Amino acid sequence: MFISKWPLDMIGIGTKVAVGLLTAGLVVEKAAPLNDLHPDPFVHVSLLTISMALPSFWVSLLAPICYLTALWSASEVFMRLHKGEGFGVSVVRGLKDVGSNLIYGAVAAIVIMPTLTVMFEDRFRGIHYDFAIEPLTIGLIGLMLWLITQAGAKLQTEMESYV
């Protein structure tokens, strides 16, 4: 396999670079429509000032920020594994962080973002949801990863008690 020839520290660094590039892309993607909201191009108004008036702008960032945080945590796990750490406390904590952030992102994309978007449009009538395949899959993978690390930590504790 091609990736197995790469040292884990290079994968960790590459993941951090990818997170930086994805964050920059997210900023550009979300900020571009804000430029069109100000009618007078000669009056300088910062994008932050415009975005503060748009709660939906900030709501739309919830899931992507969770997913980017999961990627950053994954890069930390790669770095720890490269240093030779086994399935120890820090690796388990890192994997739990990855799983938790994937779950948080999925919940944000499925329930929180649709509900808050409708609420900020002044027509809140209960909880809204958007069951898309991607966040549902990402959330279940995060849950699986979180449960595996729970079971692995428990197994490691039991093994240490025998020694």
pLDDT digits (tens, 9 = 90+) for 13-26: 888 999 999 998 88
Mean pLDDT of the chain: 82
d(CA 142, CA 88): 19
CA 17/CA 117 separation, integer angstroms: 31
Given pLDDT bands bounded at 50, 70 and 90, which one contains residue 103?
very high
The Cα-based distances of 31 to 19, 35, 54, 69, 158 in angstroms read 18, 7, 12, 20, 51
DSSP state of 4: G
What pTM was estimated for this model as a whole?
Answer: 0.79
Residue 63 has pLDDT above 90, yes or no: yes
Helix axis angle, 133-162 to 89-107, nearest 10°: 160
Spatial contact of 66 and 108, defined as CB atoms under 8 Å apart: yes
pLDDT of residue 46 exceeding 70: no
**pLDDT of res. 5:** 52
